[in-house]
Amino acid sequence: MSCRHTSASKRTAKPAQVTRTKQSFDDQLRRISDEKEDNSLIIPISLLVIASYLNRLHFKEIINERLRWDPAQWKYSPAVLAQIMVLSVFVPSRKKVALSRIHEAFAGIDLTYLVGEEIDPETLNDDLFGQLLDRMYEYGFSTLYRSISLTVRTTFDLPQNYFLHSDTTSHVLTGEYECSQSQEISTVIKPTYGVSKEKRADLKQIMSGSVTDGDGLVLFCHILDGNTADCEYNNLIISTLQSVYRDEFGEYTYIADCKILTEKKSQTDLQGCQERESSEDHLLPTGQFRRKIDSFCLLTSISPEEMNSREVLLNYKRQNVVESMFSLLKEPLLASTIFLEKPERIKVLMTILYFSVFMHGILLLITRNRIEKLPKVPKIGPENRPLLCPKSGTVLNILENFEIVTVDGVLKKIRSKQKNRSTQLDLIMYLVYLPPPVI
């Protein structure tokens, strides 16, 4: 009986073919490094879709028209810088982008087709964006926001929604903040300690309040002091809604959590409200509170003939549309923890982040509405599953499979990262409302 013994040198020896392959690869790398640098850039389709939404809302025109600026003193217009900030949230890398490093986020991306003029990302710096934030603060960012947000349904031919959901949330800050001497103290937010929904009692915070419609589109946003009470915000936003909608405000249903009420307000301003118990379809006299398992006590000024108790409960339960928006706003790539030098700039930065969330809402609503118009649900979801009631994140993940390649500013081709997706491009472009002429 014979035994085979393999020497250590034979066991560790690399096959000749592997050695040749490595040498060939090294030669190719050496040859590539000696060649002239490629001038090709990419345009992620996801960014192109968001840019097209901003363009249709006349985002740049409104900002350049409203803000005080001198073209001779600005390297890029305020509108271009603002659009870049909104788009930075949607860069496919999905990383949080600091103002001082936005140029890195857009490296290799052709900005010409996204903002309407030729821009070298390397020239973008935090001084440019800081100047933009100061001018937006000077004009009034909340007014600027709603001058754009309230046109969305007309712009995209979307059906009206007459429900308004209101809520507030907190945002954690780092660092110490002092107000600018040139600003009146009443106009500057006060970062301070408060009840933190992130459970960070050790850090200062600010609050933000927003109103979405029933489809989740953020129509109004306000940036508030760190210890602002919900009832105080509700007084502010109701006054705003009344001044904006005027006589039409009566056509809307305003929904908020119980903190809309104070004891004084519940005894005076809301005497016409009725308490509804959801487990039974009848009214309870105001002031009589019943506690039952699986029941909700809701106050409403809507008569039972107009909306029964079940409908009142269902509409209240849709309050999660504004809470879902807050979850999106607090993603790491948006505003998990904030640091800027001045509270004034924080207010404007938060408003720009709300613009990004607003784009999420438009993408979501347009896609869902167009899916409903199809004869059957398209199977273009993850792993080719039916795309039924998708979230905006799901739609963005699909869009990020596609990118346009440009060479010296000329569109060359559309590239798909997944071969099976290439045949779905026309359908996907229809669902997100990106007509071919845009490309």
The reported pLDDT for the residue numbered 32 is 61
Two tokens at 38?
A: 């490629």
Name the helix (H) or strand (E) containing 296: none
Torsion angle, alpha carbons of 333, 335, 341, 343, to 10: 160
Phi, psi of 111, deg, nearest 5: -80, -15
The reported pLDDT for the residue numbered 248 is 93
Distance, in Å, from the CA atom of 84 to the CA atom of 329, rounded to the nearest integer, reads 18
Mean pLDDT of the chain: 81
Handedness of CA 59, 61, 62, 65 (dihedral sign): positive
Query: How far is C-alpha 126 from the chain's CA centre?
Result: 21
Task: Provide mean pLDDT across the span 182-195.
Answer: 59
pLDDT over 80 (residue 181): no
Per the listing, tokens 């799901």 go with: 394
Contact call for residues 322 and 294 (beta carbons, < 8 A): no
180 pLDDT band, cuts 50/70/90, is very low
Contacts of 325 (CB under 8 A, 6+ apart): 210, 212, 216, 218, 357, 361
The reported pLDDT for the residue numbered 200 is 67
> What residue type is 31 in one-letter code?
R
Query: How far is C-alpha 436 from the chain's CA centre?
Result: 25
Task: Provide mean pLDDT across the span 279-299.
Answer: 51
> What residue type is 205 in one-letter code?
Q
| pTM for the structure as a whole | 0.82
Contact call for residues 265 and 232 (beta carbons, < 8 A): no
Domain positions in the chain: 263-310
Q: Shortest CA distance to 198 belongs to which of 225, 173, 224, 234?
A: 173
Q: Shortest CA distance to 127 belongs to which of 81, 190, 184, 94?
A: 81
pLDDT over 70 (residue 306): yes
* pLDDT one-digit tens code per residue, 74-116: 999 999 999 999 999 898 865 667 777 888 889 999 999 999 9
Contacts of 439 (CB under 8 A, 6+ apart): 48, 404, 411, 414, 429
Two tokens at 303?
A: 């008569």
Q: What is the DSSP string of 172-223?
A: EE-S-----TTS-GGGS---B----TTS-TTS-EEEEEEEEETT--EEEEEE
Contact call for residues 377 and 392 (beta carbons, < 8 A): no
